[in-house]
Structure 1
Amino acid sequence: MPLLQRFDRSLEEAALSLGATPFHSFFLVLVPVIRPAVVAGAAMAFITSFDEVVLALFLSVPGATTLPSS
């Protein structure tokens, strides 16, 4: 189950009721809780994009212009 669905909203509400701004509540309550999921998602995105580089190297011909370099 995604981490944000399991997040207890009462933690954020408690921070707001104790005088924290929505900005502080987001960065001091929500971000530390979801940090493991964000790191895992970034690692998966990196692994997927790294695989695409290898695939592009095998499928391209020498001297071919790729889309990003045009």
Structure 2
Amino acid sequence: MALSRKQLDTLLGMLSLTRPDEIACDECTEKLSQFAENSLAGKTVPEGLEAVEHHLAICTECCEEFEALMHVLRDSQ
């Protein structure tokens, strides 16, 4: 399957955002609840969770999971 020019540009744009310390989705989801709790408390991103913040900025699937988690946590307060 060939990629369209737009798909290729999107893929290259995402690749340009990656970093040497990039984490995978499974590692991101393992740390998601801690990241969400800090977000709800209005705390700054603690050391060790910066990679989660970056991953959420570039991964739509993990970002959607984070938003769903935040919704549940807000409703339970």
Q: TM-score, normalised by structure 2?
A: 0.28
Greater C-alpha radius of gyration: 1
**TM-score relative to the length of structure 1:** 0.30
Which structure has the higher relative contact order (CA within 8 Å, separation 6+)? Answer: 2
